[in-house]
Structure 1
Amino acid sequence: MDIPFKTHHLDELMAAEGIDALLVTSKHNVQYLLGGHRFFWFDYMDAVGVSRYLPVVVYFRGAPEASCFVGNAMEGFQIENEPVWVPRIKAEAWGVRDAMEFALEAVRERLGTRARLGIEPSFLPIDALPVLESRGSYDLADAEFLLERLRACKNETELELVEQASDRTVDAILDVFGQLEPGMTKRDAVERLRLAEVERGLIFEYCLVSAGSNFNRAASDDRLEEGDVICLDSGGNYRGYIGDLARMGVLGAPDAELEEALAEIDAVQQAAREVIVAGALGREVIAAGDARAAQSPFSDKLAYVTHGMGLISHEAPRITASGPVPYPDTDADSPLQPGMVLSVETTLWHERRGFIKLEDTVIVTEGGYRAVGDVGRGWNVCGQGANRLVTA
């Protein structure tokens, strides 16, 4: 089988950090390195017995043929039906300690008991550390940033998954807008969206929902009323890749005030999107959106951000340090590259009308960008099915 990532790129990243082997334990990076494999039994939670599921990909710098995958004792069934490229499979673990024991067996066989191992500290349970410490004199290095660099530019297969995730998520949102009526609850809206996403082959991850003038974005028994604006901001997962978009609905016809508010949000979105192209610096995208937001009559109530996304909702490229999720702007002064995926989002906290937001997904190309799931960006009139949708 073909290896689904560029091994020479990974080897170069590892060499720059002096890392001899990787012990990859996050679900998203395990999936990435294995070309899409994600064990269905632990899709929703990791706890089992007195421990937890811990998949481990062991990758040796310069020797992908020596790689090993440690999985759960039930995981062999899935791998038998959907093989992975890794030549050595150890699907026998039931917890953290035995998974780490199996992984270190592969390390000792090739590198002995002294090596520099790259780990993912945020995704390595603390009870793995005694096993690491007792099985050799290993120098541990944080490899999370390195692995994110590897994933930064998506290949064509990944981009197709991002597009499918985005298209299906927006289609589900628009379907639900068509179902909403006064008297339903915010919880009803979220449940209908969950069903709509599942019907479209997505894993429903979340929905942030707001209605009326209340800025609260959690599901509740608050009832929808005629004239309410409704924001559905949802993450639908398609084969591991996230479709994270926000669209607006209204129970009734949008009036001039609402049209103006959404037009201002869209103007910020378009200002940011217009400068997205391979070669543009990350900070230029942020500056373009910020400049247009500053010109808006709602400037003191607007929030704009652009961030990278893919397997997770905030990943490389990291082009701002002032977004809602805190991290350094590592890529602010680096050129965007083809295959990077960006989420562009602008929010207005309108004191009378409530929470109004657009969130779009765009793929960086040589000549600009390609937007995916790029429908329903106007006001969607709720109720009576899709015939009442008046989206752009």
Structure 2
Amino acid sequence: MDSPFEQRLAACQSRLEDDATPLAICAPGPNLTYLTGFDESPSERHFLLFVPHASVDAPPTFVAPAMYESQLEEGAIADIAVRLWDDADDPVAVIERTLESFDLDLDAETGQPSVLVDDRMWATFVQDLQACCPSAEFGLVSDVLEPIRIRKDETELAALRRAGDLADRVSREIRSRGEALCGLTERELAAEIERLLIEYGGRDLAFETIVAAGPNGARPHHHSSDRPIQRGDPIVMDFGAFVETDLPGDTQYPGDQTRTMVVGDPPEAYEEVHEIVAEAQQAAVEAVEPGVTAGDIDAVAREHITNAGYGDAFVHRTGHGVGLEVHEPPYIVADNDRELEAGMVFSIEPGIYLEDRFGVRIEDLVIVTDGGAERLNNSPRGWETGEQRDQ
């Protein structure tokens, strides 16, 4: 049986053929990792994956610096050719020979793209490719890969479940500490969350951990500060870590969870606001099913908060897709008419932010299933901490 990477490459090649697009070219980044399992940071050296459409009698081909030879061999995928160059070579000449090996007609006679390049490819590489294909019309690789990547396979879902469990474990641990949270600065609590994420099995942080206490919680993307956490402060905590998959290579998937907790008695109106956000999130989760649009899910959460009188305080989209990247399609935002499909994974994270007072956000990741939604986060969503939970 073909590996998941071979299946993904074949799906990419088939879509290229269906779209009458001869060639896709990926640079180091999520698209290349998705297709090959090879994860490398972009650099000034030409490191490109050329994927021709399915009918071409030539395999997908890496053009890569010679220093990566052993790494490419270790993660070798059947039917991917490798053309290496060293620092004494002209990499553009290697690209030209690679293009010749495909024997493709790249002239843009129909007005449709004939070459798709990675959405985040550095401009210098795009210019070199344009020089090699002066008659080609260029488009974006996402046109072909987004519809494939947006539905996660079982290997991806297994990793995302593990990342969700990891975030849950850390969430429960922090909640259990109760009074011990008081006196810590936001930055100290963020560091402790990050320590636990790695200790409990995370490979890397998925993003900069957010800890926002008291009035700082009214800033959705607050950067953790030296403000001490005080008794009665609502504490918004948004965090997650990458975990590895069971596939060869460097593929990893993130968790992403937000909880808002209080040590002691909360401020005026907090319990009401927290309940409204929790109800909005629950309603949005219950609305998830195939065929419903991403915009419909946003509308469910937003309508509940608006009807409660806090519509102006819900200042961001309801969610975002999660996969190789923490933020990717589908985006759960107003008027997005993309229909949900089984296998899509995204966050549902409504919030209410009251300037100079506090903020509340509750976030879980969900998988779209044939019958609705599967939550990937199941840690408590209430605001109580420590012994308060038993009262």
* TM-score, normalised by the number of residues in structure 1: 0.82
One-letter identity of the residue aligned with 1:56: L
State how 1:1-392 maps to structure 2 within 5 Å: 2-4=3-5, 5-6=7-8, 9-15=11-17, 17-34=19-36, 36-39=37-40, 42=41, 46-47=42-43, 51=44, 55-62=47-54, 66-90=59-83, 92=85, 102-111=94-103, 114=106, 116-120=114-118, 122-139=119-136, 140-178=138-176, 181-199=181-199, 200-204=201-205, 205-214=207-216, 215-216=218-219, 217-239=222-244, 240-254=252-266, 257-303=269-315, 305-321=318-334, 329=336, 332=337, 334-351=338-355, 353-381=357-385, 388=387, 390=389
More moved, 165-174 vs 248-257: 248-257
Q: 1:112 to 1:368 in 2, by over 3 A?
A: closer
User: Following TM superposition, by how much is the alpha carbon of 1:30 offset from its aligned partner in structure 2, in angstroms?
Assistant: 0.7
Following TM superposition, by how much is the alpha carbon of 1:16 offset from its aligned partner in structure 2, in angstroms?
Answer: 5.0
Distance of 2:235 and 2:94 partners within structure 1: 50
> Structure 2 stretches of 5 or more lacking a match?
108-113, 245-251
- How much does 1:352 deviate? 6.0
Determine the C-alpha separation between the residues in 1 that align with 2:184 and 2:29: 37
Identify the range of structure 1 (192-201 vs 130-139) with the bigger mean alpha-carbon deviation.
130-139
2:248 corresponds to = none
CA distance in 2, matches of 1:137, 1:230: 56
1:168 partner amino acid: L
Aligned-partner Cα distance in 2 for 1:269–1:104? 52
Cα 1:126–1:284, aligned 2, differ >3 Å: closer, same or farther?
A: closer
Which whole-Å CA distance do the structure 1 matches of 2:334 and 2:67 have between them?
A: 42
Tell me the alpha carbon deviations over residues 102-131 of structure 1, each in whole angstroms, 9 at most, x when there is no partner: 4443222112684521102x4121221342
RMSD between superposed Cα atoms in Å: 3.0
Deviation at 1:345, TM superposition (A): 0.9
- Give the Cα–Cα distance (whole angstroms) in 2 for the partners of residues 211 and 84 of structure 1: 48
Sequence identity (%):
23
Q: Greater shift after overlay, 306-315 or 199-208?
A: 306-315
| Aligned residues between the structures | 365
What is the CA–CA distance in structure 2 between the aligned matches of 1:157 and 1:275, rounded to whole Å? 26
SS at match of 1:213: helix
Deviation of 1:265 after TM superposition, in Å, equals 0.3
Whole-angstrom distance in 1 between the partners of 2:307 and 2:86:
57
Could you tell me whether the CA contact under 8 Å between 1:271 and 1:288 is conserved in 2?
yes
Deviation of the 1:365 alpha carbon: 0.5
CA offset at residue 347 of structure 1? 0.9
Letter in 1 for 2:307: Q
Q: CA deviation at 1:92?
A: 4.9
Normalized per residue, the structure richer in strand is 1
Q: Which amino acid letter does the alignment assign opposite residue 330 of structure 2?
A: P
Deviations 1:1-23 (A, max 9, x none): 53533556434532454321110
Cα 1:125/1:226, change in 2 over 3 Å: same
Match of 2:249 in 1: none
Distance in 2 of aligned mates of 1:126 and 1:263:
48
Tell me the TM-score normalised to structure 2 length: 0.82
Residue equivalent to 1:326: none
CA distance in 2, matches of 1:72, 1:369: 44
After TM superposition, which residue ranges in structure 1, 4 or more long, deviate above 6 angstroms?
Answer: none
Contact 1:187 1:221 (C-alpha < 8 Å) held by counterparts: yes
